[in-house]
Structure 1
């Protein structure tokens, strides 16, 4: 592992959803509470942000080079230039206190995304799959649906429920998007905080961010811990791989939930970090219309 650095001018209240765009050599992520999308150009080392009027929890790029997001009003297309928002589908229109959270596409280009009670009080979350603009519920009774991902051959699917301190693993059928044989992959100890966003590498190891845990844990496929990466902030929110060789780990964090004293003690809270690793990460999948 190499030295940890951070992206300047990028502090978020609740940084989430990092996503690397290979053809631009750029990293995108959102600030859920500030309703912004950030873009960091790795070539010019410059940061841009795009302000919207809706909560943006996760987003993916599509096969037509559009940006499709999960907002507080469902799946919606966002135009970064015009700020125009085009609604696609909202599977929880009647659950006014719910919002979407983390999401990703599988290898067939289906957009999986979970929901949660915005007040973090009730177990009203579900997991949805958007497949060619048809939305199907895949899982229910989630507290805060969070980090998710697949192993390299798409035979396993991982899903985090943060307050339960659990990452689940399912058998996954890529052809049908069927999830089965739900098991507890890991249960996080109280002193290690809460599992948040995650990503996988080419070796099928799982990298999980710890909210209130100041670290990222790399798990082997059997659930044992391979290594721990300590970070100078309490609330580590998510991570993804990118860079020209896909060995760069990008890590988001949050200021949310910290007192004034804690923000003074951990001044980099809310920053997005960069860590060069010696392992290649999985590339993100595009949404297929």
Structure 2
């Protein structure tokens, strides 16, 4: 089912704001933040690439941009830089990101031309931006099980989703381990979210689906989407029972677009499971 018919070149970063009861997501290549609420569709265009967000308050989002993490007031459209992000790497951009249970915000970066190993994964927490993992090509699948304790992330080109233990403040504490290895199936992990039962819902680039895996990494089921390049899921709605999935048109030729004309739309899957509320980002 279509949640929003606007076609994104590279849809990403869906976020359900639990106070506003409003859905947000990004079209990375077109430098847009999009939204859908009771009043209909909205969008904001930025002078740089934007890719992911967390909610700070009723009206303010933390947004990851090319040069910084910044605060964006949805009502006044005022922008305030929170901290700089890879200002020494103008060929990079942000990609997948999500708030963690401690109120931190994780964000991955990558080369605009997808150069191998050019990116990293960072965490902003109470005024500090710290690099967590380097040598990342396409950061994705940043998500957190209920209760904290662990984080997941992926470098899409490796076809693996990782799991790393966290300390009491939410910083990685230990060596990351492989949670999913999809190489034998030929799947590439993109964005992911974890539901209230600890099940991971993982978009798989090029597979026209979102797949569910239990806490041990066992495959449970997959739900098809009418777009080959699914990018990221997020739970939405007052009961968090709707799974919203972004997608992309990027790099699809005319034949592929004719076969999948809804590529780039944002989809919704009703009743797949019940999600967790997205965590609030704590600024200071």
TM-score when normalising by structure 2: 0.94
Q: Separation in 1 of the partners of 2:245 and 2:170? A: 32
* Worse overlay, 209-218 or 184-193: 184-193
1:150-169 correspondence to structure 2 within 5 Å: 150-169=144-163
TM superposition shift of 1:185: 0.7
Q: Corresponding residue for 1:7? A: 3
TM superposition shift of 1:162: 0.6
Distance 1:259 1:179, change over 3 A: farther
- 1:39 corresponds to which of 29, 35, 40: 35
The alignment partner of 1:75 has SS state of: strand
Superposition CA RMSD, Å:
1.6
Is the CA contact (8 Å cut-off) linking 1:100 and 1:116 kept in structure 2? yes
Unaligned stretches of 5+ residues in structure 1: none
The alignment partner of 1:141 has SS state of: strand
Q: Find out whether 1:77 has 2:68 as its counterpart.
A: no
Is the CA contact (8 Å cut-off) linking 2:245 and 2:267 kept in structure 1? yes
Is the CA contact (8 Å cut-off) linking 1:192 and 1:210 kept in structure 2? no
Question: How many residues were matched structurally?
Answer: 283
Is the CA contact (8 Å cut-off) linking 2:66 and 2:85 kept in structure 1? no
Q: Find out whether 1:24 has 2:31 as its counterpart.
A: no
1:1-150 correspondence to structure 2 within 5 Å: 5-41=1-37, 43-44=38-39, 46-63=40-57, 65-150=59-144
Cα deviation digits, residues 89-114 of structure 1 (max 9, x gap): 22311112111111111111111111
* Worse overlay, 199-208 or 70-79: 70-79
Q: Corresponding residue for 1:203? A: 197
Q: Separation in 1 of the partners of 2:29 and 2:187? A: 21
1:180-191 correspondence to structure 2 within 5 Å: 180-189=174-183
Q: Separation in 1 of the partners of 2:139 and 2:275? A: 23
Q: Find out whether 1:226 has 2:205 as its counterpart.
A: no
Is the CA contact (8 Å cut-off) linking 1:9 and 1:47 kept in structure 2? no
TM superposition shift of 1:134: 1.3
Q: Separation in 2 of the partners of 1:207 and 1:176? A: 22
Q: Corresponding residue for 2:280? A: 286
TM superposition shift of 1:181: 3.1
